[in-house]
Amino acid sequence: MTSFNIQVGIGSHRARHMFLHGWKYVMPHGQSLRNLERIAAVLEGTDVAGLNEVDAGSFRSQYVNQAGFLADRAHFPYWAQQRTRDFGDFAQHSNGILSRWPIEETIAHSLPSFMNGRGMLENRLNAGGRSLTVIITHLGLSRHARLSQIRDLAQRLRGRPNLILMGDLNCTARSPEMRLLLNESGLQAPPWSPPTFPSWSPRFSFDHILCSPDLEFTMIETVTEPLSDHLALKAKLRWDSATAADAKHQ
């Protein structure tokens, strides 16, 4: 599993780029496709990738649907996306999922937001004959917004089995928001949460992969190559021993 805020292909990897490259959020630039090619190379080794800050095909991305581009370049047979803010030709903000397993159902949910631009992309996958739900989300910048969004998320996800939640949650592993999410949803965090932001000097664990108790982490790490203002977060999970034993005897 990989969670990656790709920053619409801008490729910031120095603090000064946040200011000098700000225009790239709204204008096309020659490096974006090369940056996406490099991101695709990172994603090739994963079964499922959750993407944040993906443009769905507008002027600033040279009308390239970035989720589709990455699916093609990284050889994912299945992908889906959720447009969270559609500004037509100007910009199309979205969450996305790329999968090597069939996506049998996709549902786009909105989350409480001042600008009506936050959502969760719910996907039901056929993972080798087992049903697995993968949720991709990107939470707000203010704590007030995040708490409201997390309450909504927790209500939707509470007690659901075979579930993975991942994305840029804009809060750290020890934040009140994360404690609320884990307590109210019943999801579990990995043994530790590597810092992912800013990519050139990671200090904050803003990107997360969480799972239901019937799954367990065997690895969690970042991809240290800075291809965005966030580092990619990678995890390996497996069905826990009790779940595997139950499935074997069914």
Give tens-digit pLDDT for 129-177. 999 999 999 999 999 999 999 999 999 999 999 999 999 999 999 999 9
How large a percentage of the chain has pLDDT more than 90?
74
In this prediction, residue 248 carries a pLDDT of: 42
Range 3-20 average pLDDT? 71
Closest-CA residue to 110 (of 59, 77, 145): 145
Closest-CA residue to 66 (of 145, 11, 131): 11
In this prediction, residue 247 carries a pLDDT of: 46
Residue range 55-112, pLDDT digits in tens? 998 877 788 999 999 999 999 999 999 998 777 777 888 999 999 999 999 999 999 9
- From CA 94, how far away is CA 64, in angstroms rounded? 13
Residue 62 · residue 33 · CB < 8 Å: yes
Predicted structure pTM score? 0.90
- Helix, strand or coil, per DSSP, at residue 241: helix
- Residue-range domain boundaries for the chain: 2-248
Residue range 181-229, pLDDT digits in tens? 999 999 999 999 999 999 999 999 999 999 999 999 999 999 998 899 9
The CATH number for 2-248, chosen from 3.60.10.10, 3.40.190.80, 3.90.470.20, 3.40.190.10, is 3.60.10.10
> Would you tell me the crossing angle of helices 176-185 and 143-157 to the nearest 10 degrees?
10
